[in-house]
Amino acid sequence: MIPSFLLANTPIPRDLPLPLPLPEGLLKTLLVLFFLIHILFVNLMVGGSVLVVVAEWLGRKRRRWDSLAHAIAKTVTVNKSLAVVMGIGPLLCINLVYTMQWYSANALTGHAWLMIVPLVTVAFLLTYLHKYTWDRWAQGPKKTLHHANGIAAMLLFLFIPLIFLANVNLMLFPSEWEKVRGFFSSLRIGNVLPRYLHFMAASIAMTGLFLAGWFGRKSSDLSHLPGFTRPELRRIFYRVTALVTLAQFGFGPLLLFTLPAVGITPQLYAIIFSGAAVGLLTLIVLALELRASDEHIGRHYGWICALFTLVVLGMGSGRHVYREAALHPHQAAIQERTQSYAAALAEFQKAQVGKPAPAEPDANQLFMNCAACHAPNTKLVGPPLTEIAQIYAGNPEGIVTWAMAPGKKRPEMPQMPPFAHLGEASLRKIAELMLEKGKAP
């Protein structure tokens, strides 16, 4: 049963009258999986753009960091393309399963939602510009411009996720929708900002782990990174991952404890805390790696990735469990309203079938098609009937011919639309009525 508090201030829309193309449970599983793949590349794109800026900044004093920044920048342009294309799958699923909540959240933050298109486009173009001008804009003021370009791209990448987060968050709380006045006010609903911190930290941790593997591969060519050894690069990025993951032990609880109570369940706690426990284990393995000697560092990379995958799966499922719990009453209410609307509609249609077929419309009814523009004595849109009766006196066929394919005679009036669809017989009835009405004094 629908809790009464929900009904008081929650809009209950009707769902679209078409079935889902897949079982709902399957769509939800796909949603969680596709989303995690998408968010991985988003993390690498966002985190990468931050690390590029930091490394380029360090590179202003020590050259070797500049080459490293360039090498990271090359990964960002690839990851950003994958981030976009991988986003389509989860978007497809969320549209289907949460049609009513998702599109409503989009509409309520509409300007920002639409701005995603130009903002992301500009951010992408900037990352290309940054990458392809690296060697040409290498000195003096041009280098400053180059660095500023990287910072501009980074700032865009830092801002855009906020729009997505605001939407994903807003869709969870239909009872709050009436308070929303556009994007910025939507940030006050739920706990968008703790979510954002959590996401940013995850982005940097993921990117650190990715780069530790990317530069740590035996096959990777480090000749363009003079001044760095492979173990050193591994250590740098492991350290980034470890430090930020440690910080997540602050952001995670902040996120969890600021979540609105509506979707909190014991199951959610179980999932989140198991995830956190695996996170702790990951940190320990990371610490072991960092202490390992140059020959041995990197041996546990596979393990760390596997553990991280478990953490991410845990967090992804936790998110889903929360969403399910938060939206369950609303989904149920929508379903109920949709069904009763369908029932009322079906009843109406059944009653219509029983009714006798409408009689042929008489001339007066047919004339209603013309009455909006032609009045008896005054000019509305077209000439009054008195005038028509003068022109076509004794010639109803003339009216019929004109109505089938009207032209434009009077410059001060709009052209009449054709009425061929009424058929000649009906037009003839109308014409006779017009002539009669127009005759009357």
Partner 1 sequence: MDFPSYYLDHVAGGRLIIGLIASLHVLINHPLAVGAYPILTFMEWWAHKHGRKDVDELAYKITFIVFIVTTTVGAMTGVGIWLSTSLFAPFAIGSLLRVFFWGWFIEWLVFISEVVLIMGWFLSWKKADTTEKKKKHIRIGLALSIMSWLTMALIVAVLGFMMKPGEWSQTRAFWDAMTNPLYLPQLGFRTFFALMTGAVFVWFASFFFTRDRDRSKPQGQRLRKWLVYRLSHVVLVSLVMTLLFGNWYWHNVPEVMKANSAVALLSQQFMGWHSKFASLLGWTLGAFLVIAIAGLSFSSLVPRWALLIPSFMGIWLLGHFERAREFMRKPWVIGDYLYSNAVHKDELAFLQSEGLLKHATYVKHREVTEANQVECGQDIFMLACSRCHSTTGLNGVIEKFGLMYGDDKAWDSSGMLTFIQGMHQTRTFMPPFPGNEKEAQALVAYIQHLRTTREPLQGAQTIGIDAAPLPATADNHVTQQ
**Window 53-82: residues binding partner 1 (CB under 8 A):** 78, 81-82
How far apart (Å, rounded) are the C-alpha atoms in residues 441 and 431?
Answer: 18
Helix-strand-coil percent breakdown of the chain, rounded to 5? 75, 0, 25
In the set 26, 60, 107, 217, which binds partner 1 (CB under 8 A)?
A: 107
Closer to partner 1 by CB, 153 or 240: give it: 153
Least distance from partner 1 to the Cβ atom of residue 14, Å: 5
What are the tokens at 300? 């546990």
Least distance from partner 1 to the Cβ atom of residue 29, Å: 14
Binding letters toward partner 1, positions 4-33, x by CB under 8 A: ---x--xxxxxxxxxxxxx-----------
In the set 5, 26, 62, 85, which binds partner 1 (CB under 8 A)?
A: 85
CA torsion angle for 97, 101, 104, 110 (degrees, to 10)? -80
**String of DSSP letters for 224-256:** TSTT--HHHHHHHHHHHHHHHHHHHHHHHHHHH
Binding letters toward partner 1, positions 413-432, x by CB under 8 A: -x--xxxxxx----------
Least distance from partner 1 to the Cβ atom of residue 293, Å: 34
In the set 67, 109, 169, 207, which binds partner 1 (CB under 8 A)?
A: 109
Least distance from partner 1 to the Cβ atom of residue 303, Å: 28
What are the tokens at 385? 């009937």
Identify residues 335-374 at the interface with partner 1 (CB under 8 A).
Answer: 336-337, 340-341, 343-345, 347-349, 352, 368-369, 371-373
Contacts of 167 (CB under 8 A, 6+ apart): 102, 105, 106, 109, 113, 186
Q: Please tell me whether residue 99 binds partner 1 under the rule CB under 8 A.
A: yes
Overall size of the chain counted in residues: 441
Closer to partner 1 by CB, 237 or 419: give it: 419
Distances, alpha carbon 337 to alpha carbons 11, 15, 162, 340, in Å: 11, 8, 33, 5
In the set 177, 196, 237, 392, which binds partner 1 (CB under 8 A)?
A: 177
Least distance from partner 1 to the Cβ atom of residue 186, Å: 10
Instruction: Report which of 326, 194, 310, 308 is spatially closest to residue 268, judged by C-alpha positions.
Output: 326
In the set 181, 218, 291, 408, which binds partner 1 (CB under 8 A)?
A: 181
Identify residues 124-153 at the interface with partner 1 (CB under 8 A).
Answer: 124-125, 128
Closer to partner 1 by CB, 61 or 136: give it: 136
What are the tokens at 345? 């509609």
Least distance from partner 1 to the Cβ atom of residue 240, Å: 26
What own/partner pairs with CB < 8 Å and gap ≥ 24 does 404-408 have? none
Identify residues 206-245 at the interface with partner 1 (CB under 8 A).
Answer: none
Element (H, E) at 41: helix 24-59
Least distance from partner 1 to the Cβ atom of residue 151, Å: 19
How far apart (Å, rounded) are the C-alpha atoms in residues 289 and 85?
Answer: 34
Least distance from partner 1 to the Cβ atom of residue 284, Å: 36
Which residues in 130-144 are b (16+ Cβ under 10 Å) and which e? Answer: bbeebeebeeeeebe
In the set 39, 166, 171, 180, which binds partner 1 (CB under 8 A)?
A: 180
Closer to partner 1 by CB, 125 or 306: give it: 125
Least distance from partner 1 to the Cβ atom of residue 156, Å: 12
Backbone torsions φ then ψ of 311, nearest 5 degrees: -60, -45
CA torsion angle for 202, 200, 156, 47 (degrees, to 10)? -40
Least distance from partner 1 to the Cβ atom of residue 209, Å: 22
In the set 375, 384, 424, 432, which binds partner 1 (CB under 8 A)?
A: 375
In the set 26, 145, 277, 381, which binds partner 1 (CB under 8 A)?
A: 381
Applying CB under 8 A, the span of 84-92, 152-160, 202-210, 264-272 interacting with partner 1 comes to 84-92
Least distance from partner 1 to the Cβ atom of residue 187, Å: 14
**String of DSSP letters for 53-103:** HHHHHHHTTSHHHHHHHHHHHHHHHHHHHHHHHHHHHHHHHHHHHTHHHHH
**Contact in structure between 358 and 295 (CB atoms under 8 Å):** no
In the set 121, 220, 265, 364, which binds partner 1 (CB under 8 A)?
A: 121
Closer to partner 1 by CB, 164 or 273: give it: 164
